Structure 1
């Protein structure tokens, strides 16, 4: 009877844990879908890393690979993206939606990792932490390899731990395969493979096994990795005549981390661009980096310390120094830039980060078998060292934080025991190790920049609230105090510019937007509002200069166009030329500028233009591939027309006389819906529908 009851309890516990795990997966899915909704619906491809991954995926779909970029990217994430894009009809937003759904199931890898180290309950808590951690959730719907890399890395560390525990050659082989897939997702994983093999051999030797027993699993791990990486290395040798293990980005990143001035960077980039072979380009970058290090080794070592601090710094620091790139003054994302959020969400993410790291430090110190933490600690040390040698970007921190989640979960579960018996923990020497580690971590994230920022935000937060509520007098008083408290922060200038814009003083607003942009040239909000305000003041040169500044750092892609569509509150003009600086905010659903068009832009399959109507005629000038059909419709007016493209420039004339109260010139939203096709594999790898060159309402 007792055995039967025990069996029933065990089955009930197993069923409950499965239900809880399903609930965690659903929660992870909800979080990732929410981030997709707020950051990835535009279908835009951001410049930089996302564009390179996207280009590689498009080349894969056309039977090749992107071998002509600034550097060669690892193939796993582009291959993953190449599977998603056709399933989504070559729509980037749809592909990222599928990616978010698939990677939601990735919390199972965290469950397995935690359960293997500490048991099923810790595994569930680990999965829950992974589901709720804001950076992990946001990267799942972005065009970055981080989310997939982290999933593979966690699975690889789990297999590595299992291989060490069981001295299993089969598990070691599997760990090698998984770690190799991670290395072909992000090249930083390459260096973990030989270290993992050495760790397996060392652990087996330490446990007293014969030589062949500790050589055997280490060799199998390397063999598994070679079977995955080998074909990629062979392919690269055939194409580039050089040995490229994963990518050619590492050497260039190291050089970027050593440059001493903008002039040195510009000269170095020109030298690199002149080298056609990507492997030779990386070799040159390494050579330039070592030359700089030899010239001033003390500076390099000092910079390493600062890069480690930058790696572990809080994301809120961007607000403290005012180098926010992609968030507008009301907290809305302007472009898709994973890892940058509105202030409230940023603070919440940083609170999560601090709590998780402090818990993880305690978990490492109090783990029952400290040797089982060795693979994770090995990875943390490696990742930190590589960041110190290259670029201490906060994005590189995410794979570190993700791998410590089981230890944070273990410490979290043990917290009740700490509260019940605090004296026992105070007598434990491990408590002092945890305290020391916590103090080191806190020293890395503390910055004096938060002092003036805190003084300014004390007034800025209620000042922005008053501005949004229309209380301009109170807003002016508070925002002026905020600027006086923190005058070196361009965000405080932007607040004042928004205030003057609300007061109708467009010239003063433009002056402050321009000044804020000069303080932080990457501020897309300052540059975009500079363009919009200049257009209102009939200053096309200023508007064009602002958009050139955006294209110099980012690009005027559809994410920016969608934001401007919602942010633009000026009356629509009677004529809109997509791509014209004065038209920002009056067209959306369009691809970036392409070299085949000097005027106009291609739609992304569903574009729209907002114009001031009348009782005359809507004239649309367009062109596109012969035989493609384009549906043109006007919101709320039951006007629908279809035109078949001929391959030559065409005009479409639509009478507006049937619109009720057309004499009052109501604003019209004109929609263009069509199939899409690849514009140009190398020069413009976007899937465009129809090129709209002019939309005008004539009398």
Structure 2
């Protein structure tokens, strides 16, 4: 029974007599809540900043994001799911994308679906901030929760991830939710509260993560181990939960002197038999089934679909066997590359590919067993690198990523990584007091390392490692903060704690592992030299770009050459220098500086060089390859980037119209003309721009002609803005016509005219149920000329 002082009772009585007119008393908000809200807002601002400067567009990509987008769009349009051309991929994120794209289509603009996908990704990533705080708080303490929430909010890979139309945003979010649900189950289970719903939801979350990235499927084994350990611990210790969540679970400097999270209750002694009896086994089995049943039931419909479609037992996908085979294949081993391996698979029926790769892997292991592990050490060392420095200063291209625009975020990200990654090993090697979660964390880290060591290292495949090392790094930093606070208050006790930590085997193991990792990180690259050379590269590149903008070509060339002296393999810099040679008409030097360095932007310049030398066939091949594969809007890029040859007549869709237009679909052919010639056109996609640099200044009384047609019933109004005048042309459907418009006399003497076009759009599939075309279209335009 709780007692109160008379002073407290009297104060309560007086407060009850106060009039209600004082207003509503707002609930107190803890400082932790305010910090989490601030971190979410900061994280949102950083993610929106990245999205605002990001030019990567899955509509124009031949990489994984383009594949996911195209399959999701096909699913949204037709309701039919089509597997990738050379393997069966996980479907979870594709279904999510399709649902959001369908909303965009219903709103009349499929590109809205891309914005919705990114919006959902941002929401999921920000949801991890408060959940990450609660996860670390429950496992360690409040300060660790705040540190981990900060990492989740501002670390650059977590900021960049939501902008990408990939499987990893959904996968990582579901994985984080899965970890949080498991710890909520653990706490409820230890406190004898209703816990089954938490474990059931954890099974569903891991299943959704597996349907986004199938390697998560096999980590159910780790969860069963976690569950078994937690059941064993509760029954072994005959524990009664302590109400609330303590803020001090473990300090690495104090060894066994700190109390555990849960204390033995004397009154409960003897309630349980030894944890090794049959009751423990049954309890562990029952809890494991609560997790496994929803996990299996969530995945089972897709497994059944695969069996019905291919008559093979394929749980989720064939990604693992196919990727392992590609890494070990004769084509890759002999230096012919992955494209040959993909072409081999593409020639085999989809249902037979897993059987083929499994048989060929067995053959390779019989003939050359070491091929499986030949890259283990190189790939292992490649995991532990400062990723932004690698991307910015080491790689040959930015590959369309806006690294230069967001470099402060990237630098901050590498600094955070260099702190939390090494110190996380202190917590991972400390005496395990967070229960079975240590088993789960080490299992995931080791498993993620193993998968990339077997196949290849990609930064997005490493995200589970950094998530968990960030969690344990936050614990180590929190412990360090506790010790520094003690050092200020009581130096003797702080020194005693430190000495105890340094003498314990747990502390020694953690320090050895941390120092070994620091050595590995800094021995992998000569970071001081790389950064110094990279800064010189950027200084010369900025000076060269400024000189080019001022048309001081000799200075620009000199600065770009100095840039390449600092980083000879930087293809983006070579591409910009080749653009200068293109503008100067020094085409051979442009070809020479590009050499055979392959990037999509380099192909844009190759196309412009070929066009300038009147090799339209080669120009078209380069331009169209870039347009379809670059991962960015090449029409927009070339309109801003190139100075195309002057012309008074532009044929759209012939592959050499880049640099003159933006806002149009890919080029298409009309049916053969009576004389056998082939005419081309492009669809205007609502809003477009056509810019014509003229060979001679425009004369007064000049006329603009446009050859075009519509397809919707009646006339389609085309609004044309040119020279400050706005003109509306009713474009008739069903036949090609040439429409002539008098140009304003105010344009006389101009050497360049810019046309801005707008027409109402439609989506073909909404007009024709048999269509699978989800593009936003308006008018077909074949030629624009000035007469």
- List per-residue Cα deviations over 1:54-113 (Å, max 9, x = no partner): 233234333221236332332321222123223333224433443344335423332332
Any residues of structure 2 matched to 1:362-373 within 5 Å, and which? 362-366=426-430, 369=433, 371=435, 372-373=437-438
Pair 1:21–1:449, CA change in 2 (3 A): closer
Residue 225, structure 1, aligned to residue 295, structure 2: yes
Pairing partner for 1:582 from 621, 646, 656: 656
Counterparts of 1:69 and 1:607 in 2: how far apart (Å)? 33
Cα pair distance change 1:361/1:632, threshold 3 Å? farther
**Aligned equivalents of 1:13 and 1:596: distance in 2?**
70
**1:204 counterpart = 2:231:** yes
- Within 5 Å, give how 1:491-530 maps onto structure 2: 493-494=574-575, 496-497=577-578, 500=581, 504=584, 506-515=586-595, 518=596, 520-521=597-598, 523-530=599-606
What is the match of residue 220 of structure 2? 193
1:558 CA drift (Å): 5.3
TM-score by length of 2: 0.77
CA change 1:655–1:495 in 2 (3 A) is closer
- Are residue 26 (structure 1) and residue 73 (structure 2) matched? no
Q: Aligned-pair distance for 1:38?
A: 1.5
Which of residues 683, 687, 693 is equivalent to 2:775? 687
Pairwise CA RMSD of aligned residues? 3.8
2:22 maps to which residue?
none
**Is the Cα contact below 8 Å between 2:397 and 2:570 reproduced in 1?**
no
In the alignment, structure 1 residue 63 sits paired with structure 2 residue 79: yes
Paired position in structure 2 for 1:336? none
Measure, in 2, the Cα distance between the counterparts of 1:160 and 1:383.
Answer: 20
| Cα separation, 2, equivalents of 1:227 and 1:645 | 55
> Quick check: 1:632 aligned with 2:719?
yes
Distance (Å, rounded) in 2 between the aligned partners of 1:400 and 1:596: 53
Distance 1:461 1:485, change over 3 A: closer
SS of 1:44's equivalent in the other structure is helix
Q: CA deviation at 1:234?
A: 1.6
Contact 1:45 1:557 in 2 (8 A): yes
Deviates more, 1:366-375 or 1:52-61: 366-375
Shift of 1:180: 0.6
Tell me if structure 1 keeps the 8 A contact 2:58–2:165: no
What SS class does the counterpart of residue 59 from structure 2 fall into? coil
Query: How far apart in 1 are the matches of 2:219 and 2:498?
Result: 35
- Find the counterpart in structure 1 of residue 316 from structure 2: 246
Does residue 465 (structure 1) correspond to residue 542 (structure 2)? The answer is yes
Q: 2:62 aligns with which of 47, 50, 60?
A: 47
Within 5 A, what are the aligned runs for 1:147-546? Answer: 147-167=169-189, 168-205=195-232, 208=236, 209=275, 210-258=280-328, 259-263=332-336, 265-277=338-350, 279-315=351-387, 316-324=389-397, 326-327=399-400, 333=402, 346-366=410-430, 369=433, 371=435, 372-419=437-484, 421=487, 424-425=497-498, 428-429=501-502, 430-442=506-518, 443=520, 446-448=523-525, 453-454=530-531, 456-470=533-547, 476-477=557-558, 479-484=560-565, 486-490=567-571, 493-494=574-575, 496-497=577-578, 500=581, 504=584, 506-515=586-595, 518=596, 520-521=597-598, 523-546=599-622
Q: How far apart are residue 122 of structure 1 and its match?
A: 3.3
- Within 2, Cα distance between the matches of 1:306 and 1:500? 39
Between the aligned partners of 1:459 and 1:661, the Cα distance in structure 2 is 45
Residue-by-residue CA offset, 1:528-563 (whole Å, 9 max, x unaligned): 222234434544345335336647xx6156523222
Pairwise CA distance, 1:186: 1.2
Q: Indicate if the aligned counterparts of 1:425 and 1:431 stay in contact, CA closer than 8 A.
A: no
* C-alpha deviation, 1:187, in angstroms: 0.9
For residues 455-476 of structure 1, the C-alpha deviation after alignment (integer angstroms, 9 at most, x for no partner) is 6435422211221332766655
For the 8 Å contact 2:639–2:660, the answer to whether it is kept is yes
CA distance in 2, matches of 1:293, 1:74: 27
Q: Which segment is superposed worse, 246-255 or 655-664? A: 655-664
Structure 1 position 141, deviation (Å): 1.9
Moved more, 658-667 or 138-147: 658-667
- TM-score scaled by structure 1? 0.85
Q: Is the 8 A contact 1:456 1:483 kept in 2?
A: no
Change over 3 Å in CA distance of 1:24–1:572 after alignment to 2: farther
Please list the CA deviations of residues 550-587 of structure 1 after superposition, one character each: whole Å capped at 9, or x if unmatched.
Answer: 47xx6156523222222234576433344444322322
Unaligned runs of 5+ in 2: 16-25, 190-194, 237-274, 488-493, 672-678
Q: Distance in 2 between matches of 1:469 and 1:268?
A: 45
Residues 466-509 of structure 1, C-alpha deviations (whole Å, 9 max, x = no match): 2133276665555444544554554564465456467x353255
Query: What is the CA-CA distance between 1:431 and the residue it aligns to?
Result: 4.6
Deviations 1:622-677 (A, max 9, x none): 4554338353322562323254563x452352413325133424321332443242
Show the counterpart of 2:676. none
Q: Which residue of 2 aligns with 1:609?
A: 690
Structure 1 window deviating more from structure 2 (225-234 vs 675-684): it is 675-684
Given the alignment, which residue of 667, 682, 696 partners 2:784? 696
Q: 1:211 to 1:26 in 2, by over 3 A?
A: same
CA contact 2:318–2:354 (8 Å) conserved in 1: yes
Q: What secondary structure does 1:583 align onto? A: coil
Higher Cα Rg, which structure: 2
Equivalents in 2 of 1:172, 1:594: separation in Å? Answer: 54
Closer, same or farther: CA 76–580 of 1 in aligned 2, 3 Å: same
